[in-house]
Each structure stands twice: as C-alpha cells, then as structure tokens.
Amino acid sequence: MLGRRWRGSMALGAVAVAGTLLATACSTPESGGGSGETEGPFTIGVSNGFIGSEWREQMLSELETAFGEYEAEGTVDQLVVESADVDINGQIQQIRNLIRSDVDAIIVNPNSPTALDQVFAEAAEQGIQIVAIDQAVESENVVNVVIDQAEWASLSAQWLADEVGEGGRIIAVNGIDGHPANEDRWSGASEVFDAAGVEVVANDYAEWDQNQGQTVTRDLLASNPDVDGVFVQDGMALGAFRALQAEGLVDDVVMTGEARVGYMREWDALRSEGDYTSIGVPNPPSVSVSALHVVIRMLQGEEFTADGLDGNNAWLPIPETITDDTFDERFAEVSDENDAYAVDHALTPEEADAYFE
C-alpha cells in the first residue's frame, strides 16, 4: 500500500469562498461530464461544506493556484467551486449543482462518510469522477485521497500519553461532534489513551475554531482543575494555549500543539525561555492539490497500481511530525507566514504518478 505510512521530511508549500465561484479561461471543454474524453480540457468541480476555519481557506487557495498551472498547460479550463457552511442536504445540493454544471470531476470535502452516497451515485451515473479529501467516505463511487486521520491523531496522543504517564488525567478538545474526520481522530486517540492507562476526565467540542478552543478549554479546566494534560486537535491549539496561559498553567499542564504558525510562535518564545515542550503533527491543507493531481490522471484514463488503492483509499503521507528536536528547522521554513498558516505539503505530479500504472 503506497503512502499510508510513508513519513519523512517534506517540502512545505487565503481565500474564503462563499457560494459559487466560477474561474473561467478562454477555452471551453469539448464536452462535459461523462464524455469519456482522456485529453481534456477538463472542468473540475469542488464541494466544500464547511468554511469555518482558516485551514479550509488555505485548502481552496492552494487548489486554485495548482489549477492555474494545469490551466496554463491546457489540461483544465474551469474550476467550479461550491463552498459554504451547509448541512448534509446543503452539500447534496452543492453536488447536484456541480452535476448540472457539466463537470468532469468533483473534489469533495464531505460532511458525512455515508449520507452523500446517493448523490455520489447520481454523479457517477453521469460519468463524473469523484475524489474525497480530508476525510474518507464509504461510497464505492469515490476514491478517497486522504491522510489516515486516526493515525494522525494517534501520533500526538502517544506523545501526550508518554508525557503524562500511566494514570495521567487529561481533558480533550475535539472538533465537530459527528464529523467524519473528528470521529476518526478521536477513535485513534482514544485507543492510544486506553492502552496507555491515561484517563480522559472530560471531552468537549470547539469546531476547529481558535476562539471556541480557548473557551472550551477554559470551561473544562474550571470543571476539572486537577489535570495533567490537554489533548487538542489542530485549529484550536493556540486557543487552548491561551486558556492555560490565562490560568497560569502553562508550566504545569502539558498539551499537544499544532503545526500552525501562530501556535509555533508561542512555542518558539517559550523554548527560548525555558524547557517548554510540545508537538505538532501537520495536517496539510494542500490535500486538495494532491487530489487534483490524482483526479486529472483518472480523467486521462490512467489505472491505479495494485497497491495504489487500499479499498477505495489512496493514502497520502503524513508529513514529518514537528518536535522539539526538529522545531528550529521547521519553524524557519514558515515563520514569515501569517498566524493562520498551516505547515503544508502536497504530492508532486511525479509522486502522484506513482499511484498509477
């Protein structure tokens, strides 16, 4: 199986899009979705059902940049983006809008692992190629181009378990209740904590938002003052840190961090002052770019290798974890970026080729 456990030093690489954005070049596709064409130019649709985080903005921005490179080559001609905060029914409508737009492929960041199956089948009946990013779906009509979210969370969970030790007591600040990425992550982290004998005394959701992360962490600490650690998913670590800081607990309570510049600035400052320790596991927003490389090759008629897919998953590498030992080098690469910037990585076109025969 290619990619799932491939780690190592990775190269590092916003716009919020609401409603529907149509980026159009001078050329027009010869025919729309399901035409069987293998040369293009292709029309690519995007369905993004959640815009409440800077990570999603970076995901879309990097996708638009990569699309422009393919556009200059004549491989693609239109990027049709449906992006808004929607429920399941709203995302179904997004995808139906894309089908009516006669797209050749859809890149979807799904709000459910199963509730979109029917509309995926509708798209597949029209010959539209579909890839899911950020979180996997179960539909046999979709190829998931994703990192393993359970493995992603287990890396920081294991670090925290080692820090607090057996019998350690922690609180957990998770993403969105019921969201597929959140559920996979918490499943992976919980397995680690159970095996290590770490007690999760309280768990709440902050919707991958820094401000909510601060509020939820503050409230959990108020209800559970005698804890040893905080497990927090990305998008909320800086908020959780602010809550610890406000309570004067930074030196007493260990927390998992994130590979985002704002948190890394705080980490950098504290490392220079003392023995502050943390961890950041990158979750690359440019998964969208990796998916674009993959779906274009699918449209061009290329076939996956025998180990290119695991079920319907094309596993992407999880970039190298940022630790105290690697921090200086990794932070130097991104220190000029804004605080919301997430350490990033995308497959190169050549790396995408390796998934195909």
Mean pLDDT (the chain) is 90
Which residues neighbour 102 within 8 Å (Cβ) at sequence distance 6 or greater? Answer: 29, 32, 33, 43
pLDDT of residue 282: 97
Question: Tens digit of pLDDT for each residue in 235-270?
Answer: 999 999 999 999 999 999 999 999 999 999 999 999
pLDDT of residue 352: 98
pLDDT of residue 274: 81
Which residues neighbour 91 within 8 Å (Cβ) at sequence distance 6 or greater? Answer: 47, 49, 108, 110, 111, 112, 116
Strand pairing of 76-83 and 19-24?
antiparallel
Question: Tens digit of pLDDT for each residue in 266-315?
Answer: 999 999 888 899 999 999 999 999 999 999 999 999 999 999 999 999 99
Instruction: Give the mean pLDDT of 115-131.
Output: 98
Please determine, for residue 17, whether its predicted confidence score (pLDDT) is greater than 80: no
Say what percent of the chain tops pLDDT 90.
Answer: 86
pLDDT of residue 39: 77
Which residues neighbour 234 within 8 Å (Cβ) at sequence distance 6 or greater? Answer: 55, 208, 258, 259, 260, 281, 283, 342
Please determine, for residue 24, whether its predicted confidence score (pLDDT) is greater than 50: no
Say what percent of the chain tops pLDDT 70.
Answer: 90
17 close to 60: Cβ distance less than 8 angstroms:
yes
